Structure 1
Amino acid sequence: MLEKLQRLLGLRTDPVIFFTSAGLTVLFVVAAISLTEQVDRIFATASDWLLTNLGWFYILGVTTFLVYLLWIAVSRYGHIRLGAQDDRPEYSRRTWFAMLFAAGIGTILMFWGVAEPISHFAEPPQQGVEPQSTEAARMAMAYSLYHFGLHTWSIFCLPSLTFAYFVYVRGMPFRVSSVLYPLLGDRVYGTAGRIVDIAAVMGTLFGVAVSIGLGTMQINSGLARLFGLPENSLVQVLLITVITAIATTSVVYGLDKGIRRLSNINIVMAIGLMLFVFATGATLFLAKGIIENVGVYLSSLVSLAFWNDTFADTGWQGTWTVFYWAWTITWSPFVGIFIARISKGRTIREFVLGVLALPTAFTIVWFSVFGMSAIDIELNGPGGLVREVVEEGDIPGALFTFLENYPLTTLASALSVLIVVIFFTTSSDSASLVVDMLSAGQREEGGPTRQRVFWAITEGVVAGTLIAATGKSGLDALAEVITVLGLPFFVLAFLMMYSLVRALRTDFPELTGPPAALRRRMERERRTREWGAGKRDGENAEGIEGTGGAGRAGRAGGETSEGAGGGASEGGR
């Protein structure tokens, strides 16, 4: 029946994944509208339980991802190319970085660049730190960089590396279930695989919906200051409608003409805004701060990576760190597959170090400029940010309140709104492309454009409906859903780590085991032992060594053939 409906609509996708995901999305939206209190209560209870009892697992998990990625980058597997040996990257490093950033956390940095440092500066999470002190400022920067640096990009890098390997090296479909082939075998093409893919589609839609909601609130706040527009659900729904239309247009143009051009334009504008704040603000203070924050981040990284607030148990990590990790990992399939899609031809080492290092370096500079400028305004300027952002809770308006302390406020605010709009557009555009890939299993943009248009509109409808139906509380409820959905995605990420190592060992047996020098030394020691022990049958040691060597060569050849055959067989499937 579903296949008949697919043919009738002219779609080219997996009908079970496509229609089930679409149906569940509609069901959730209807339930959120008609049974708001009940849905809120269920997910609030589950979310509170997870934050209280499994917050440590989320924190340990992301740190484990980071250590694993650094290990695989410097290991003997690092030189393996994600594709054929003669494949080369499709995009330049500059374009690649711009697309990484636009599809990743560009919108979130615009939203939190001022709000998070000033929040931790006013209300330090660790006991014994005086609010709005020098130590509070230092720790505020450490927490912000921890939340948006290497750990966040590890959440994106792990699935994207795994997808890229299984798709470009093994030739598997562009689905989340493909990376579980070493565990599930041919069941990835059956019910088990489809359940995984449907969960990935749902997580992507809801994760992007949260970002859309935050971005819309920030755009509404900026327009309220520029043109006096009211800040309410009606204006926000209209904004979502307009921006979804822009994203849909970009979807129609495709990856190269749409996302790539918008990403390049937007990263230039974002850097321009950052340089404006740097040049017109406390320039020397910021220059020193950028360098100092590198040290603050690196010196705090290990302790924060394992900090669980065990003694104080204030609950702060649940509302900040754990929520960030849970939210980020729910849309890691979207960002992961998108990054994999634009990274064919790069080596594992280049891929991992690029995805981790380049965005993290930019994040350090971004937060140093905006976060330290905000703190400087509180310490040495007119202040007001703590009152607006922390005491009055106007987080969406934090950036625009901040820009009121700079010349050309109207122009800078208008540019900020435009940057958020384009980041919003590229995120929605990228998500539409990826959700279409997840539901179709296609490596290229081969499906009908109407499929990607459908998903672009669906993302806007999910966010718009929740805002219209329940306002900000609806987005809070969705955030609680995301926190609950994050748990199975964490489990999936650990399975990805195992699957990738198992596949690498199968496909490249010559790289498995001790290094060549160690193997040669072990061989010499074995021969020495055999020579000293002598041979019972009166054969000379040299003859036996030759026979043994031939036998070993034969066994090694058989193992290599078996390993290559296994890899080819799995890839063929």
Structure 2
Amino acid sequence: MNPRVFWGATVIIALLLGAAVVAPGASDRIFQAAQAWVIDSFGWFYVAVVAGFLVVVVALAFGSTGRLKLGPDESEPDFPYPSWLAMLFAAGMGIGLMYFAVAEPVQHYAAPPEGEPRTFAAAREAMVITFIHWGVHAWAIYAVVGLSLAFFAHRKGLPLTLRSGLHPLLGRRIYGPIGDAVDIFAIWGTLFGIATSLGFGVAQMNSGLAYLLGIPSNPVVQVILIVVVMGAATISVLTGLDRGVRRLSELNLVIAVCLMLFVLAVGPAGFLFKALVQNFGLYLDHFFIRTFNLYAYEPRGWMANWTLFYWAWWIAWSPFVGMFIARISRGRTVREFVIGVLLVPTGFTFIWMTVFGNTAIALDMGAAAGAISQAVTDDLSTALFHFFEQLPGSAITSTLAVLLVAVFFVTSADSGSLVIDTIASGGADDTPRWQRVYWCTLEGAAAALLLLAGGLGALQAATLVAALPFAAIMIALCFGLVRQMNADVAGVAIGPETPPLRARLKQILSPPRRKEIERQIAEEGVPALRSVSEALEREGLPDPAMKLSAEEVRLEVGADPETRFVYRLTAEPRPLPAFSNLEAPEGRRTQEWRLIARTEPRGRRRDLTGLSRDQLVNDVLEQLAEWRRSPRPAAP
């Protein structure tokens, strides 16, 4: 672990949760007062930065930086295009869509921010507002964090943590107190964002169980549900059921799609197809007005409860979702990444919200006679089950809904603990299981204690406040990302590794001599291979060995001569052109020397002349990763 980040985040979270336990009434008032202060003082800031994030990621995608790879220039995507799109599609699903699929459109229809409620105009506005909250703005926030993590981890070889995105601005200072503070804020925001989602999920599970089994709906039952479901998440961490949870998530996604298709089949299908097209058109028409709308001239509490809460919630969730999409996007171009992240989950969400939201509004205007909107007004968590009451097979569909929420609950808690643990351990992904259990337990404790302190209102307030410092960090990530990507396009190194002007001119005008390449091997190559060898030894990997000779330096991993990994660095000459404008500074030389790397087995020759120690380490790790993924020959 990184002790400063691990224990620093723990202390901050413990202080907040301790206050909620010792004085629940006072803590609720404090959270609400903090939320009111943030909304009054920084509501404009949330709206402005979310619009800015969208502009930044679109500009990076369609500018000259769009062709950059999230990895070395020669890298290929880890996943085929259909699989990658499917995982982005899955990332758009979760407790939020289950909770708000009916609740949000009907709530805006029954209590719009402006205009008459329960009218056709209110119905149209309700869908536009829902699309804005769940559209490209949310995924632009995720894209900023995901793009920063993917670019600096996969392309620059830096740790998979938020601090790496500040390297162009701070250099090696990211490994000091500033970097620690960034990661602590990321953990703080992520944990409270996950706790908020868990609070929504458990409230909806409680409402479903009350509808199906008559179990009372109150905070005590909800805390019991948190304990039970977090216990299941903890078991998945302890027993290593990652593959099972992944398959369960895929099954969950299939069930969710089937549930949506069922609603489409038994609902007003023709109307829904027309509504989807019109909703999208209205979304485009209202896009810029809603992006910057703050009701500055007509202040209303609606903004704090909906738009500003959503922007804060997405910001708090961004390290979680950002790290997921960064991990699966190695080898993609920046343009592919941004287009996929912005459009694929958004497209599915628009279809989901139209099927559930428009059907609910149509039923409320007709057969339900206002019963759904009344239920939403009384308790948002019951909206989905009152909606199913109006359709055939309500007992079956409600049971499936409770099951979906429960499994989303488990997978969110398990994945969230992994993401937080990765940040708290400096980017490591092979930490002891007790650490993931620790964060998993803390997530459940945060959700339970904040529910007891003040219900979902306290969770919403805590999320909005926690997201404020991280929004400022995300602005810095944007500056670092733009600066580094533009430098890569221009072929210029930035940061403390930038060579002085004279050295760079010498590299251009003077072909390297043998002694210069030998000096690079001694000063950069040998320490780079030694650091990798020592790290492999600490991890207990098979028989790493360093070998030095007059001709080369090599790193070997594995005992089997047929399959072992061999990485060689050698100085090799190559002839200069017969006629060259670069002859004068060095006299009439016939050859220049280069630092050449070769990898066995199935390696290819690479020219690494002029690379720094960190860059050489990154090349070794890239080749080692390819070797690890390569198939082994079958035993005789």
TM-score range (shorter-chain normalised) is 0.7 to 0.9
CA distance in 1, matches of 2:487, 2:150: 17
Checking the alignment, whether the CA contact within 8 Å between 1:102 and 1:427 is kept in structure 2 is no
Kindly indicate whether the alpha-carbon contact (under 8 Å) linking 1:103 and 1:427 is maintained by their aligned counterparts in 2.
no
Give, in whole Å, the separation in 2 of the partners of 1:350 and 1:66.
16
Partner of 2:416: 431
Decide which moves more: 358-367 or 198-207.
Answer: 198-207
Tell whether 2:125 aligns with 1:139: yes
Indicate conservation of the 8 Å contact 2:76/2:332, yes or no: yes
Alignment correspondent of 2:34: 46
Question: How many equivalent pairs are there?
Answer: 509
Q: Is the counterpart of residue 411 in structure 1 residue 386 in structure 2?
A: no
Cα displacement (A) at 1:228:
1.1
The residue that corresponds to 1:90 in the other structure is 78
> Quick one: structure 1 residues 18 and 53, their matched pair in 2 at CA, closer, same or farther if it must change by over 3 Å?
closer
- Distance in 2, Cα, partners of 1:155 & 1:31: 30
Farther off after superposition, 50-59 or 206-215:
50-59
Q: Structure 1 pair 435/104, CA: closer, same or farther in 2 (3 Å)?
A: farther
Aligned counterpart, 1:378: 364
Aligned to 2:95, the other structure's residue is in SS state: helix
**Cα distance in 2 between the residues matched to 1:491 and 1:281:** 44
Corresponding position of 2:109: 121
Residue 271 of structure 1 is matched in structure 2 by 257
CA contact (8 A) 1:102 1:426 kept: no
* Contact kept? 1:508, 1:563, Cα under 8 Å: no
SS of match in other structure, 1:397: helix
Higher helix share: 1
Which whole-Å CA distance do the structure 2 matches of 1:99 and 1:235 have between them?
34
2:431 corresponds to which of 423, 427, 447 = 447
Please tell me the residue identity of whatever aligns with 1:387: Q
**Do the aligned partners of 2:236 and 2:242 also contact (CA within 8 Å) in 1?**
no
CA drift at 1:314:
2.1
Equivalent in 474, 477, 486 of residue 505 of structure 1: 486
| Counterparts of 1:192 and 1:149, CA distance in 2 | 33
Q: How far did residue 407 of structure 1 move? A: 0.6
Alignment counterpart, residue 481 of structure 1, candidates 462, 469, 490: 462
Match for residue 420 of structure 1 among 385, 405, 414: 405
Q: Does 1:212 align with 2:205?
A: no
Q: CA deviation at 1:568?
A: 4.7
Distance 1:298 1:570, change over 3 A: farther
Structure showing the higher strand proportion among its residues: 2
Which amino acid in structure 2 is aligned with residue 121 of structure 1? Y
- Work out which of the two has the higher radius of gyration on C-alpha atoms and give 1 or 2: 2
Q: Deviations over 1:63-88 (max 9, x none)?
A: 11112111111112112221123433
CA contact (8 A) 2:91 2:345 kept: no
- Asked whether the 8 Å contact 2:99–2:204 carries over to 1, the reply is yes
- Is 2:440 the counterpart of 1:456? yes
Structure 1 residues 87 and 204, CA, compared in 2 at 3 Å: closer, same or farther? same
1:380 CA displacement = 2.3
Percent of paired sites with the same residue: 43
The residue aligned with 1:158 is: 144
Counterpart in 2 of 1:496? 477
Range 362-371 or range 236-245, more displaced? 236-245
* Residue number among 231, 254, 275 corresponding to 2:217 in the alignment: 231
Q: Is the 8 A contact 2:234 2:437 kept in 1?
A: yes
Query: Secondary structure of 2:381's match?
Result: coil
Q: Do 2:158 and 2:164's aligned partners in 1 also have CA atoms closer than 8 Å?
A: yes
| Residue pairs, 1:315-354, within 5 angstroms | 315-354=301-340
Letter of the structure 2 residue corresponding to residue 402 of structure 1: F
Counterpart residue number, 1:31: 19
Secondary structure at 2:75 match in 1: coil
The one-letter code of the counterpart of 2:248 is L
Helix, strand or coil for the counterpart of 1:124?
coil
What's the TM-score once normalised by structure 1's chain length? 0.83
Q: Is the contact between residue 507 and residue 566 of structure 1 (CA under 8 Å) also seen in structure 2? A: no
The answer to whether the Cα contact below 8 Å between 1:170 and 1:570 also exists between their aligned partners in 2 is: no
- Give the whole-Å Cα distance in 2 for the aligned partners of 1:111 and 1:563: 55
Aligned-partner Cα distance in 1 for 2:170–2:245 = 34
RMSD, aligned CA: 2.7
The answer as to whether partners of 2:206 and 2:222 remain within 8 angstroms in 1 is yes
CA contact 1:98–1:267 (8 Å) conserved in 2: no
Q: Distance in 1 between matches of 2:225 and 2:86?
A: 25
Distance in 1 of aligned mates of 2:618 and 2:296? 46
8 Å contact kept, 2:99–2:384: yes
2:324 is paired with a residue whose SS is: helix
Q: Does 1:242 align with 2:233?
A: no
Task: For residue 104 of structure 1, report the CA deviation from its aligned partner.
Answer: 5.1
Query: How far apart are residue 248 of structure 1 and its match?
Result: 2.4
Amino acid at match of 2:268: A
C-alpha spacing 1:219/1:380, structure 2 compared with 1 (3 Å): same
Which ranges in structure 1 are unaligned for 5 or more consecutive residues?
1-12, 513-545, 552-560
State the structure with bigger RCO (CA 8 A, min sep 6), 1 or 2.
1
Aligned equivalents of 1:452, 1:135: Cα separation in 2? 49
Q: Give TM-score scaled by structure 2 length.
A: 0.75
The structure-2 alpha-carbon separation of the partners of 1:205 and 1:101, relative to structure 1 and needing over 3 Å to count, comes to farther
Quote the Cα distance in structure 1 between the aligned partners of 2:130 and 2:614.
Answer: 42
**Residues 95 and 260 in structure 1, CA contact (< 8 A), matched pair in contact too:** no
Distance 1:300 1:498 in 2: 29
AA at the equivalent of 1:431: G
Moved more, 141-150 or 497-506: 497-506
**Residue in 1 aligned with 2:374?**
387
Match of 2:160 in 1: 174
Deviation at 1:254, TM superposition (A): 5.6
CA distance in 1, matches of 2:308, 2:609: 43
Give 1:178 shift.
1.2
Q: Is the partner of 1:349 in helix, strand or coil?
A: helix
Distance of 2:303 and 2:425 partners within structure 1: 38
Q: Helix, strand or coil: the match of 1:311?
A: coil
Report the CA distance between 1:37 and its aligned residue.
3.3
- Once the two structures are TM-superposed, the CA of residue 101 in structure 1 deviates from its matched residue by 5.1
Which residue of structure 2 aligns with residue 20 of structure 1?
A: 8
- C-alpha deviations, 1:139-162, integer Å up to 9, x for none? 100000000110111111111111
